[in-house]
Structure formats: structure tokens, C-alpha cells
Amino acid sequence: MKKQLGRFILTLAAVSTSLFVQAPASAATPVRGGSLQAIVQPEPTALTSSFQNTFPNLIVSANIFDGLLTYDKDSKPQPGLAERWEVTDDGLTMTFHLRHGVKWHDGKPFTAADVKFSLLEVWKKLHTRGRVTFAPVTSVDTPDEYTVVLHLAHPSIVILSALNAVESQIIPKHIYEGTDFNKNPANIHPIGTGAFRFKQWNKGQYIELERNPDYWDSGKPYLDSLIFRIIPDAGSRAVALETGEVQYAPYDAVPHSDVKRLEQTGRLKVTTDGFSWQAQNVFLEFNLRNPILNHLKVRQAIAHAIDVKDLINTVWYGFGKPATGMIPSSLTDFYTTKHVPQYPYDPRRAEALLDAAGYPRKENGIRFSLKLDYQPFNEAYKFHSEYLRQKLKAVGIDVTVRNQDLPTFIKRIYTDYDFDINTGQISPYLDPQIGGIRHYWSKSIAKGVPWTNASNYSNPKADEIIERIQISNNPQERFRLFHDLQRIGMEDLPVLPLFEIQHFTLYNNALQGVGAEPDAAISSLKNLWIAP
């Protein structure tokens, strides 16, 4: 007998209300029309995130594609392409009832076959995190064009936290079936069901989207077009916002040092809303194939050598707080500090550990040399890496920082494994089973798949805990297991979580409807409008 879960099954009206942030009373009624100039940096590698999952791709593609669900400001699921859904008492069957009359941008009807294809052929096989999230799905039935039934090998609570257009975009079966997905022309000329249609991509300059007149969410979007500008120079991005040439810039598009000044001009607003769905940490990942880094005392020494509070204040201008483990403190049920090892800043302790590991200083004062690669998402990561280089040099570790574009970084780290330490941000997401376990599960080692376990870390005890998390249908048990995993992760230290990053979005005063939902910064901009 199917049990309808009240907190998941919501009326269609629940998503029809726009959320306005700091909108004046006189501008409460949305104004239709206009073109929004936005920033995306770095330039996307593709205009779908179904199997090329990185945040620049998300910022643009979430406007072109939809997911089965959306999430409200309390992180609760809301209808998307699925109007309602049910889960059986045993957690082994999920049924989604789709909207009628939805069309792809080429005019073809959207049906259950598209959902089945996306789940089985894309999310389960090619998506960085979907390979794990949807692993329990053994089969998918489509009894009619508007019903999708998932059959699971075991209960999987996490699935209902991973069905938005950010994490699980539904792509058209009639465009992708039988093709090499990574080489399909639709990756750069996408066809979705979303609020905006693709118009053109002038590489290195801008991506233009236009209003979808047939969009299922009646009356949306308000804007006629979105133009995502590619402006490689951080200073130029700040000037574009200050002059009004650009009106919207998510994901730390300007130097952190400029944020306060830009806000004080009175022409721009700053919000840190819209990022909590990802719950991101900045980390160091160690390549355990390197015999030096395979030594636990060396990894512990590196942890003690870094003054995280000073790093946050010096490089990131206070946009963050020190991490205590793999799970950010914002995920309160999953988070714990009890019996979780910590590595406070202590250079003397770092020196002693390096000596004990058998790496004394040589005549030149250097113990050994390492290479550090950083995710090239913005200028802050370059300064961040330079800070780390200086701190490690102080304890006798010579570090070379390597600069590269995003495709080169991804290949070097996840295909060639040609690195010693890499640093960047990782997203555990609303349920850290989605993105928080990948560094710690041996089955996440997948050559050529970005944002997975690149360290080569493998611990049977960690694997056992992760696999119990994946099959548990008891929320409290899962919380306890995640607490155990945090302890193991900080004991073994294949990854050093540095701090919980606080991202920001800058936007022009005239722009209304900027959302506070947990995924607003990487979701559709269909609710935005420009006040006259």
C-alpha cells in the first residue's frame, strides 16, 4: 500500500509564488520584459550539467533545463516537472506523476521516457555524484507517458534531495539516445524544457538565452533574455557591476577585497543567500600514491602548519569559518565535533611530526618538494594557494603552485592523477550522501570522472559505514553513521577540510526577485525582473 508523504506531496500552487528579496513595496508587481546582463566565470565547458557537472555549467544550464523537483527556502521538496509523488512504506518504490503538456524547446513533447532515459543512461552512469545517488535504482517503469516508477534495491532517502535542475537535469531522449553524449552537439546548442531557450554562444564573450514562450510555469519568466558575459579579468568584472553594464553576478565573481566597496556605492546589493543547498567546504586533497603524502604524520603536519583563521581573514576577507570535518556545521543533523580529531595551527608540532616521519630539514632548510594545483574558479584561489605555499615553506616543505585552466585541471587531477595536493571547494549538499562521501569511498575512485576520489584513499571501515548510510531508511541511524564517518575522515586525513566557505552574489538595486532558496544562486532566473 502506498503512503503519501505529506511533507513531499505539495500542491502545484506552492511553486507559483515568487520570492522577493528586499523589493520595495512600490515594486511588488513584477514588470515583464528587458534583458539581464549577468556574469558567469569561468566560461562553461558545456551547457548541461547532466554529465559535465561544474558550477559555471550549472549557472547557465539551470535556466535551460528542469528537474523533477525544486526546493523551497526551508530545503523542502516542491513540484517541478513532477506535480506530485509517492514513496511506499518500505521505501523501495517511488512514483512520480509528471506535468501534462510540457514541451522541449524544439516542440517535441516531454514524457516519462525522457525521465527514464536521463536516470538510467546519464545520471546513473555518467554524473559525478549521480552514479552513487541513483545506484540503488534497479529499474524504471513508465506505465504511461506521465508516470515514472523507480524500483530500488534498498531504501534511499537521499534521492528526494537530489532531483532539482542543479543536480539532476532531465535531457531529451530524442536528442541524445544512441549518441556519444560528451560529443553531442546539443551540449553547446542545448534543447531543454526550461524557462529560457538557447540562442547563441559566442565563445570567450557571452552566452545568450531567450524567453521560452511555451514555458509550463504560466507567466514565467519575466525577462525577455539572459546574457551571460564571460569577463576573465576580475577587476573588469567589478567595473562592469559598478557601472551598471552588468546587473547580476553570482559565485564570488569579483575579488573579495572589492565586495564592501561595491556595496557601499549604494548601487549594488550583496547577498550570501542561495548557496546553502551545496553547503561547501574548501579543502586540500592529498595524492596518497605519493609515498611522502601516504605517511599520515606528513598529512597531520601539513594540517598543523596552516593558520586557517588567518587564511580566511587574509585571503577570503572573512567569508568563511574554520571547518571541523567533512560536513559543514550548517547541516546540523549530520554534523558533529564529538571525538572528531582537530589540527589547530601549531608550526612547532608540524615540524616535530615531519621529523618523526623521517623528513628532517636538509642543508638548504627544505625537507621535500610538492606540487599544488587549485581549482581555477576565481582569483581568490590563486591567492589562497600562495598563502598555503608560504605556510608550508615555513615548516620546510617547498611547494610549487601550478596555474591552469579548468579543463586542464580536471584532466590532470582526475584522469592523469598528476598532482601531489589539490585544493578547491567541495559540495556535500543538503544530504551529504550526495556529495560528502565521494572523497572517502573507495568505489568513488573513477578515472576520468571529475570531482570524485582522486586521492586513492581506501579504508574498508569507511566503506562499510558509507554503504550502511546508503541503505538505511532510518534518519537517526544515518545521522549517527555520518558522525562516525567524520571521525574516521579526520583520523585518516586523505582530505583536509579547511573552512566552510560563504559565497556571495552581487546584483543591481533595480533587479528584483533574487531568491533566498538554498539553491537560488545556481537555479533558474525565471523569477527575476527589472524595476523601472
Helix (H, G, I), strand (E, B) or coil at 356: helix
Rounded Cα distance between 89 and 81, Å, is 24
- Answer whether 286's CB lies under 8 Å from 466's CB: no
Specify the DSSP class assigned to residue 227.
Answer: E
According to DSSP, the residues that pair with 368 across neighbouring strands are: 397
Q: What fold does the segment set 2-188+504-530 form as a domain?
A: Dipeptide-binding Protein; domain 1 (3.90.76)
Q: Is the pLDDT of residue 66 over 60?
A: yes
Residue % of the chain over a pLDDT of 70: 95
Domain map (residue ranges) of the chain: 2-188+504-530, 281-501
Per residue in 125-148, pLDDT (tens digit) is: 988 888 889 999 999 999 999 999
pLDDT of residue 27: 46
Q: CA 483, CA 337: separation in Å to the nearest integer?
A: 8
Query: For residue 89, with 0-12 CB atoms within 10 Å meaning exposed, 13-18 middle and 19 or more buried, which class applies?
Result: exposed
DSSP for 76-88 reads -EEESSEEEEEEE
∠ CA 116-118-119, nearest 5°, is 65
Q: What is the mean pLDDT of the chain?
A: 92
Residue 9 pLDDT exceeds 80: no
Domain 281-501 has CATH 3.20.20.150: no
pLDDT at 18 over 50: no
Q: What is the rounded average pLDDT of the residues 280-301? A: 98
pLDDT value at residue 39: 97
Closest-CA residue to 76 (of 527, 476, 523, 517): 517
How does pLDDT run across 159-197, given as a tens digit for each residue? 999 999 989 999 999 999 999 998 999 999 999 999 999
Return the pLDDT at 156: 94
Distance in angstroms (rounded) separating the CA atoms of residues 67 and 527: 16
Binned at pLDDT 50, 70 and 90, residue 531 comes out as: very high
Residue 386 binned pLDDT confidence (cut-offs 50, 70, 90): very high
- The full DSSP string for 246-305 is --EE-SS-S-GGGHHHHHHTSSEEEE-TT-TTT--EEEEEE-TTSTTTTSHHHHHHHHHT
The model's pLDDT over 219-228, given as tens digits with 9 standing for 90+, comes to 999 999 999 9
Answer yes or no: is pLDDT of 23 > 70. Answer: no
Phi, psi (rounded to 5 degrees) for 508: -70, 145
Determine the average pLDDT of the residues in 17-24.
31
* CB contact burial 417-432 (16+ within 10 A = b; e otherwise): eebbbbbbbbbbbbbb
Report d(CA 244, CA 215) in Å as an integer. 29
Residue 8 has pLDDT above 90, yes or no: no
Q: pTM higher than 0.85 for the full model?
A: no
Q: Who wins on pLDDT, 236 or 26?
A: 236
Q: Tens digits of per-residue pLDDT, 427-459?
A: 898 899 999 999 999 999 999 988 899 999 999
